[in-house]
């Protein structure tokens, strides 16, 4: 199958990166190995914490993000998927570092929503920078976020997942926080953190669930397939006609 090459700018965190790869494979309409989409991954867990930089003046992650993007470009990626919602704060900056496009996971998620009011589960940084608020506003969508205590618990759970820890108590707490968003009027839930995508599914909310990581995987597959169709060589009908006429003339000349 002729397709584009998906580049994954990963490591934020590694489990979310692996999950994006898995979902891309599952969403690809393949019947054999050769039908799958080529994927190149730069899984760099040494990228500095995005939230610490934005909220507390920690080390700047942008140089490392740019290096990863350029590496993917050199490796032949047709476009870049970045499975970290918070890192999309830097998307305009990163896009200037490479010639190939990024998929805007936040914008794609906002375009997928059909309900007028949604609840958002995301990092403190994603909430405070209003990434989803800004993306949803042009579509007339209101975004509700957890109260301060619930948001603090969401952050604890996100970092626990990054550390490889998740238990039933955390699952119950996430369901309870989502339910409180529902009580406040949220008609759908946006899973706006790729770590939470590992543990939240449709059964955890009484309404539609928009998983940003799942939407990113779907869009990446679509773009790769479309890119392949654009790159397919078109038949040269003019040359084909000339060859046919030439062959016919030769056949006629060979008749005694």
pLDDT tier at 113, thresholds 50, 70, 90: very high
Per-residue pLDDT at 122 exceeds 60:
yes
Per-residue pLDDT at 176 exceeds 80:
yes
In angstroms, the CA 105 to CA 23 distance is 15
pTM for the model stands at 0.88
pLDDT at 139: 98
Q: What is the mean pLDDT of residues 241-251?
A: 39
pLDDT at 14: 96
Same domain, 74 and 196: no
pLDDT at 231: 61
pLDDT at 160: 96
pLDDT at 189: 99
Q: What is the mean pLDDT of residues 121-149?
A: 98
* Tens digits of residue pLDDT in 8-40: 999 999 999 999 999 999 999 999 999 999 999
pLDDT at 228: 75
Options 32, 66, 136, 193, the catalytic residue: 193
Same domain, 111 and 169: yes
pLDDT tier at 232, thresholds 50, 70, 90: low
CATH of residue 63: 3.40.50.1860
Options 32, 66, 84, 147, the catalytic residue: 84
Same domain, 207 and 112: yes
Residues with Cβ within 8 Å of 124's Cβ and at least 6 positions away in sequence, in order, are 51, 55, 151, 155
Q: What is the mean pLDDT of residues 198-211?
A: 96
Per-residue pLDDT at 118 exceeds 70:
yes
Torsion of CA 169, 175, 181, 184, to 10 degrees: -100
Q: Does some domain include residue 244?
A: no
Q: Does some domain include residue 254?
A: no
Looking at the structure of the chain, the number of domains it has is 2
Residues with Cβ within 8 Å of 90's Cβ and at least 6 positions away in sequence, in order, are 50, 61, 62, 65
* Tens digits of residue pLDDT in 38-95: 999 999 999 999 999 999 999 999 999 999 999 999 999 999 999 999 999 999 999 9
> Domain range holding 38?
6-104+213-231
Same domain, 73 and 114: no
Active site residue 84: yes
Same domain, 178 and 223: no
In angstroms, the CA 52 to CA 124 distance is 10
Q: Does some domain include residue 141?
A: yes
Active site residue 66: no
């Amino acid at each position: 199958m002729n397709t584009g090459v998906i580049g994954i700018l990963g490591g934020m965190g590694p489990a979310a990166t692996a999950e994006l790869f898995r979902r891309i494979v599952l969403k690809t309409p393949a019947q054999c190995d050769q039908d799958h989409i080529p994927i190149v991954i730069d899984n760099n867990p040494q990228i500095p914490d995005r939230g610490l930089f934005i909220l507390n003046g920690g080390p700047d992650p942008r140089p490392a993000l740019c290096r990863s993007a350029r590496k993917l470009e050199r490796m032949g990626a047709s476009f870049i998927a970045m499975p970290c919602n918070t890192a999309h704060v830097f998307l305009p900056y990163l896009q200037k570092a490479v010639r190939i496009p990024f998929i805007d996971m936040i914008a794609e998620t906002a375009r997928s929503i059909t309900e007028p009011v949604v609840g958002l589960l995301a990092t403190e940084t994603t909430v405070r920078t209003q990434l989803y608020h800004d993306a949803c506003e042009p579509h007339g969508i209101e975004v509700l976020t957890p109260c301060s205590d619930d948001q603090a618990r969401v952050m604890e759970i996100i970092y626990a997942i990054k550390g490889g820890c998740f238990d039933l108590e955390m699952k119950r707490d996430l369901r309870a926080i989502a339910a409180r968003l529902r009580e406040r009027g949220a008609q759908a839930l946006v899973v706006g953190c790729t770590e939470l995508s590992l543990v939240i599914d449709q059964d955890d909310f009484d309404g539609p669930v928009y998983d940003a990581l799942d939407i990113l995987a779907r869009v990446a597959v679509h773009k790769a397939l479309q890119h392949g169709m654009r790159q397919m060589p078109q038949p040269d009908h003019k040359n084909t006609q000339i060859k046919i006429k030439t062959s016919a003339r030769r056949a006629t000349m060979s008749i005694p």
